[in-house]
C-alpha cells in the first residue's frame, strides 16, 4: 500500500547487544504516528532499522507493501521513506542550496523541489548561499527536514526534532510538518520524549520501554500526555 510503513517483530541491536525485541508498529497512508520513550528505550534504533542503516536480526520491514527487510537504505528511499536523523547532520561546509540539491540527486521521480521547501521554510530562502554549519539549530533542523522532502517521501521519519531547540522554534517546525502532512498527504513518524509536544499532532502513539512496545493507541487511549510522561518516562507533570 503506497505511503505505508510496517515493522513486524523486529529484533535488532549493536554487535551482540540486543536493543529491540519483537517490535511491531505500523504507519498508514497519511497518518501521523508518534514513538515515545525514555532515553535508551530504543527509539533511534527502531528508526535506523526502518531506514535500513541497521540490519534486522529477526522480523521484517515493509514499505508501501514491498518487503524491504534486506534492502539497503538507498533502495528504501526509492520506495518512499526519508529519515531525518537526531542531531540534524546537515552538510556543514556546503551551502543551504547545495544541501538541498544534493538530496535531489537521490530523490524519486516527482520528488519535491527547492521552491516547495522554501515555501514551507521561508527562513531558508534568505540563506541559500550561507554555509549550513553556520545556521542556528532551528534553521539546521528546517534544512534537514527540507532535504528529506527533496527525496519525495510518502513517509517522513523525524528523530527527536526538538532536541536542543527552544519551544517556540519547535512549535514552528511542527507547524511545517502539519502542512507537509495536510497539503501533501505525507505520513509522519515522529520520535520524541515529550508526549505533550506531539499530543495535538499525532493520530496514534507507540510507547517503547526497554526495547519493547509497552502500549499503543491514541494519546488519550493510553492514559493521556501527563500520565505517559510520569508513568512511562519518569517525568512529573
What are the C-alpha distances in Å from 199 to residues 41, 74, 96?
19, 32, 31
**DSSP code per residue over 102-137:** HHHTTPPTT---HHHHHHH-HHHHTTTTSBGGGS-H
For 148-180, letters b (16+ CB in 10 Å) and e give bbbbbbbbbbbbbbbeebeeebbebbbebbeeb
Task: Determine the pLDDT at residue 237.
Answer: 46
List of E strands, 86-229 = 155-159, 187-192, 204-209, 212-217
Spans of the chain, pLDDT less than 70 = 1-2, 109-111, 231-237
Cβ–Cβ < 8 Å for 55, 12? yes
Query: What is the number of other CB atoms lying within 10 angstroms of the CB of residue 203?
Result: 16
Sign of dihedral through CA atoms 177, 183, 186, 188?
positive
Query: By C-alpha distance, which of 19, 39, 44, 32 is closest to 235?
Result: 39
Task: Determine the pLDDT at residue 232.
Answer: 60
The torsion angles phi and psi of 206, rounded to 5 degrees, stand at: -120, 135
Cβ–Cβ < 8 Å for 108, 80? yes
The tens digit of pLDDT for each residue in 95-138 reads 999 999 998 887 776 667 889 999 999 999 999 999 999 999 99
Which helix (H) or strand (E) element contains residue 175?
Answer: helix 167-184
pTM of the model: 0.93
Task: Determine the pLDDT at residue 139.
Answer: 95
Cβ–Cβ < 8 Å for 97, 128? yes
Q: Which residue matches cell numbers 521513506? A: 81
Domains of the chain by start residue, with CATH: 5-86+152-232 (3.40.50.300)
Task: Determine the pLDDT at residue 225.
Answer: 82
Which helix (H) or strand (E) element contains residue 13?
Answer: strand 5-14
Amino acid at each position: 500500500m503506497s505511503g505505508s510503513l510496517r515493522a513486524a517483530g523486529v529484533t535488532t541491536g549493536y554487535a551482540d547487544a540486543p536493543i529491540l525485541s519483537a517490535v511491531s508498529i505500523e504507519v498508514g497512508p497519511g497518518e501521523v504516528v508518534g514513538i515515545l520513550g525514555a532515553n535508551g528505550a530504543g527509539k533511534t534504533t527502531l528508526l535506523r532499522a526502518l531506514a535500513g542503516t541497521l540490519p534486522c536480526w529477526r522480523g521484517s520491514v515493509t514499505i508501501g507493501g514491498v518487503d524491504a527487510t534486506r534492502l539497503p537504505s538507498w533502495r528504501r528511499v526509492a520506495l518512499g521513506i526519508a529519515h531525518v536523523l537526531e542531531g540534524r547532520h546537515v552538510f556543514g561546509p556546503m551551502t543551504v542550496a547545495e544541501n538541498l540539491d544534493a538530496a535531489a540527486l537521490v530523490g524519486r521521480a516527482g520528488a519535491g523541489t527547492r521552491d516547495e521547501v522554501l515555501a514551507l521554510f521561508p527562513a531558508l530562502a534568505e540563506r541559500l548561499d550561507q554555509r549550513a554549519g553556520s545556521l542556528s539549530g532551528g534553521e539546521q533542523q528546517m534544512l534537514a527536514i527540507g532535504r528529506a522532502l527533496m527525496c519525495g517521501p510518502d513517509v517522513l521519519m523525524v528523530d527527536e526534532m526538538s532536541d536542543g531547540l527552544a519551544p517556540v522554534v519547535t512549535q514552528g517546525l511542527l507547524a511545517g510538518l502539519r502542512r507537509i502532512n495536510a497539503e501533501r498527504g505525507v505520513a509522519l513518524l515522529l520520535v520524541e520524549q515529550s508526549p505533550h509536544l506531539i499530543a495535538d499532532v499525532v493520530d496514534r502513539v507507540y510507547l517503547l520501554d526497554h526495547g519493547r512496545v509497552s502500549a499503543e493507541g491514541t494519546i488519550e487511549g493510553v492514559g493521556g500526555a501527563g500520565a505517559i510522561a510520569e508513568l512511562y518516562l519518569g517525568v512529573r507533570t
